[in-house]
Structure 1
Amino acid sequence: MKELDVRHLACPGPVLALRDLLAQGETQVRLHVADELARSNVSRFAQTRGAKVESSSEPEGGFTLEVVAGNQSATVHRGEEELLVCDVPTSAGPTVIQVTSLVMGHGDNDLGSLLLRSFLKTQAQLEIKPSAIIFYNDGVKLCCRGSLLIDDLRRLEADGIEIIACGTCLNFFEMADQLEVGRVTDMLEIATTLAQAGRLIRP
Structure 2
Amino acid sequence: MTKIIDATGKACPMPVIMAKKEIEANHDSFIITVDNAIAVENLKKLAVSQSYDAVVSGSGERFEVRFITDGREIPETEMIVLPDSSATIWGTGKWVVFMGKDYIGEGDYELGSALVKMFFYTLSQADDVPESILFMNSGVKLPTLDEQVVSHLQALEDRGVKILVCGTCLDYYKLKGDLKLGEISNMYDITEKMFAASKVIAL
Q: Structure 1-normalised TM-score?
A: 0.52
Instruction: Give the Å deviation of 1:146.
Output: 5.0
- 2:196 equivalent in structure 1: 196
How many percent of aligned residue pairs carry the same amino acid? 32
1:66-96 CA-partner distances (Å, limit 9, x unpaired) = xxxxxxxxxxxxxxxxxxxxxxxxxxx8110
User: For the residues of structure 2 that align with 1:146 and 1:101, how far apart are their CA atoms?
Assistant: 13
TM-score (norm 2): 0.52
Partner Cα separation in structure 1 for residue 173 and residue 146 of structure 2: 14
Question: 2 CA distance for matches of 1:186 and 1:109?
Answer: 27
- List, as ranges, runs of 4+ consecutive aligned residues in structure 1 with deviation greater than 4 Å: none
Displacement of 1:128 in angstroms is 1.7
Greater shift, 177-186 or 147-156, is seen at 147-156
Q: Structure 2: which amino acid aligns with 1:197?
A: A
The question of whether the paired residues in 1 share the 8 Å contact of 2:124 and 2:153 is answered with: no
1:147-178 CA distance string (max 9 Å, x none)? 43121111111121111100111011111111
**Contact kept in structure 2, 1:141 and 1:147, CA below 8 Å:** no
Correspondence list, 1:35-54, <5 A: none
The CA distance in 1 between the partners of 2:146 and 2:95, in whole Å, is 28
Which residues of 2 match residues 131-150 of structure 1 at below 5 A?
131-145=131-145, 147-150=147-150
Q: Root-mean-square deviation (CA), in Å?
A: 1.5
Structure 2 residue matching 1:104: 3-state secondary structure:
coil
Q: Which residue in the other structure is 1:174 paired with?
A: 174
**Offset from partner CA, 1:111-136 (integer Å, 9 cap, x none):** 11111111111112222211110011
Equivalence for 1:124: 124
Structure 1 unaligned blocks of 5 or more: 1-92
The letter of the residue matching 1:119 is F
**Counterpart secondary structure, 2:148:** coil
Aligned residues: 111
Structure 2 residue 92 is the aligned partner of structure 1 residue 95:
no
C-alpha distance in structure 2 between counterparts of 1:174 and 1:158, whole Å: 27
Tell me how far apart the structure 2 counterparts of residues 133 and 160 of structure 1 sit (CA, whole Å). Answer: 11
| Separation (CA, whole Å) in 2 of partners of 1:124 and 1:141 | 19
Question: Which structure 2 residues correspond to residues 46-125 of structure 1 after superposition, within 5 A?
Answer: 94-125=94-125
Question: In 2 relative to 1, CA 191–172 (structure 1 residues): closer, same or farther, beyond 3 Å?
Answer: same
2:6 aligns with none
